[in-house]
Amino acid sequence: MNTFRFSKYALGLLITAFSLQSCLKDDKITDLRPTAVVTVRPQTDDTFFLQLDDVTRLNPTNMKKSPFGKKEVRALVKYTKESNDTKSKAQNVRIHWIDSIRTKQPVPNLGADNNTKYGNDPIEIVRDWLTVAEDGYLTLRVRTQWSRANVKHNISLVTGVNPQNPYELELRHDAKGDVGGPMGEAIIAFNLNDLPQSTDPSKKVKLKLKWKSFNGEKSADFDLQLRPKVKP
């Protein structure tokens, strides 16, 4: 089972250059807050680009290869534009640092076994700019309790919870018994590009996300643009 350890710096709110797992040093940068959440998309020629949103591509001018190898991941990035052209769908940027977000695939609905397999512990979703649905990904800023830093909590996104609606999803949290202590936050992303396309692939699908919060059951809707299916 995939595991996710809650990161103490998770939101980039208290980031230092030395705490980043993957960074590009630039002594001229004093503002270490992330500019955006992006998708790191490696290419077959070993180059990569960053997908900023559903239409905007960022081309790094000071990095040729992705620091994450051939893995496609969501990431926090600090960058500056090389020009003032804000309307272009392809923009050249200089990366100052970039750090990956734990990126997972959704999991299937197991019915009565969901609690055992995926857990049923409460979790909160923070609705700010870090919680976003774009480029076929659902990225979530989450909050829950933990008391022991060495305990790995599992977070899963369950599909197939509603046979009548393939876009209804359920966020599950398994605290592995670590249910006390202060509230802490983290970021996690899910690749949803394998969900069924809408009848018009150019239109967004409406996700319905459900989860168990500390105050009971909650839900939220997201509009998500899935990537067009690549024909063989």
140 lies in a domain? yes
Inside any domain, residue 16: no
Indicate if the pLDDT at residue 4 is higher than 80.
no
Structural domain tally of the chain? 2
* Average pLDDT rounded to a whole number, residues 178-196: 94
In this structure, the answer to whether residues 89 and 56 fall within a common structural domain is yes
Q: Within this chain, do residues 137 and 44 fall inside the same structural domain, yes or no?
A: no
Reported as a single tens digit per residue, the pLDDT across 129-138 is 999 999 999 9
Phi, psi of 187 (to 5 degrees): -125, 140
Q: Is the pLDDT of residue 8 over 50?
A: no
What is the predicted pLDDT for the residue at 31?
67
Structure confidence at residue 95 (pLDDT)? 97
Mean pLDDT of the chain, nearest integer: 88
Residue among 143, 135, 122, 136 nearest 188 (CA) = 143
Asked whether the predicted pLDDT for residue 43 surpasses 50, the reply is yes
What CATH number has the domain bearing residue 96? 2.40.50.500
Q: Is residue 150 part of a domain?
A: yes
Domain membership of residue 4 (yes or no) is no
User: Same domain, yes or no, for 162 and 60?
Assistant: no
- Is the pLDDT at 144 greater than 90, yes or no? yes
| Share above pLDDT 90 across residues of the chain, in percent, rounded to a whole number | 75
Residue 142 shares a structural domain with residue 175: yes
Instruction: Decide which of 58, 80, 100 is a domain's last residue.
Output: 100
Residue-level pLDDT at 22: 46
d(CA 176, CA 130) in angstroms, rounded, equals 26
State the pLDDT at residue 137.
Answer: 99
- Checking if the pLDDT of 1 tops 50, the result is no
Q: How confident is the model at residue 232 (pLDDT cuts 50, 70, 90)?
A: low
Q: Which two tokens mark 33? A: 């807050």
Its domain, for residue 150, covers: 102-224
Range with lowest mean pLDDT among 41-55, 143-157, 183-197: 143-157
Please indicate, yes or no, whether residues 44 and 118 belong to a single structural domain of this protein.
no
Q: How far separated are the first and last CA of the chain, in Å rounded?
A: 31
The domain that contains 163 carries what CATH number? Answer: 2.60.40.2370
